[in-house]
Amino acid sequence: MSEKEKIICGLYPRVSTENQVRDGFGLPEQKVRLEDYCKWNGYEIKEYYTDAGRSAKTGNKRPEFERMLEDGRQLMPMVKCIRE
């Protein structure tokens, strides 16, 4: 993939349950998996976004999530979600 074609992305690892952490899907593990995915596909990581310990279910504001959405509107026109 040429520099001109390189896809720019942001990473937003997220944990919503203790089970995910216990089962090896905590933030550090997700970060490694996402970085490996990006490297394998030739994506350039522009930014990391993390709202550690913030639940979306309780109506909490997630500032990093909001920042990611805003950056996506302005800087990164493509959104791709990876969920295992």
Cβ-in-10-Å burial (0-12, 13-18, 19+) of 62 comes to: middle
In which domain, by residue range, is 67 found?
8-74
Residue 83 lies in a domain: no
pLDDT beyond 60 at 84: no
What pLDDT sits at residue 81? 58
Residue 60 lies in a domain: yes
Number of domains into which the chain is organized: 1
- Contact assessment for residue 3 and residue 44, using Cβ atoms and an 8 Å cutoff: no
Q: How far apart are CA 78 and CA 36, in angstroms?
A: 19
Residue 79 lies in a domain: no
Strand, coil or helix: 47: strand
Q: What is the CATH number of the domain that holds 14?
A: 3.40.50.1390
Residues 33-72 pLDDT 10s: 899 999 999 999 989 998 876 666 667 788 898 898 888 8
Catalytic residues: 16
Hey, what are 13's tokens? 């690892």
